Amino acid sequence: MADKGTTVEQILEQAIRFEEDAYSFYSGAMGMVERAHIRGALEELAAEEAKHKEQLQALLSGDTTRIISVRKQGQIADLKLAEYLVPRPLDPKASLQDVLIVAMHREKSSYEFYSTMAEIAEEESSRALFGFLAQEELVHKNKVESLYDEVVYQDN
């Protein structure tokens, strides 16, 4: 997490790395999935992470004209599965269940990171972007938890 000596640029660079890691994670997870609609959901999540990276890069370069406004999403349901499921380290033999649990935790961590950044950011454009990204990560967490519910709970 950021300390008092951390600059806005360093925070943005860290956030960009998070988005790159998330993109790689979802792209890699697509290869583990047989069901087309689940692969499609993972592909959509990867694309959204790439878009977030672009938004952060625009902010880093000082281009505040590309900052998005927070969209009205209504209440986002939080199934809170990540709060109860423990992730295991992923290896080549990891199951889809393992991948989804790790994904939930990644989205939860990203949500918490962006929420904190929104609270401490000094500029309104930064607060708006971090607030938007926090909500996007909560949407992602919901998508992953819903996939888990569909794949793991419904298949049993």
Report domain extents, the chain: 8-153
Residue 49 near residue 23 (C-beta atoms within 8 A):
yes
**Is residue 5 very low, low, confident or very high in pLDDT (cuts 50, 70, 90)?**
low
Q: What is 8-153's CATH topology?
A: Ferritin (1.20.1260)
For residue 1, what pLDDT is reported? 47
Mean pLDDT of 1-14: 69
For residue 66, what pLDDT is reported? 56
**pTM, whole model, 2 decimals?**
0.79
For residue 70, what pLDDT is reported? 46
Q: What are the C-alpha distances in Å from 54 to residues 5, 15, 50, 99?
A: 25, 11, 6, 25
Provide the residue type at 34 as one letter: E
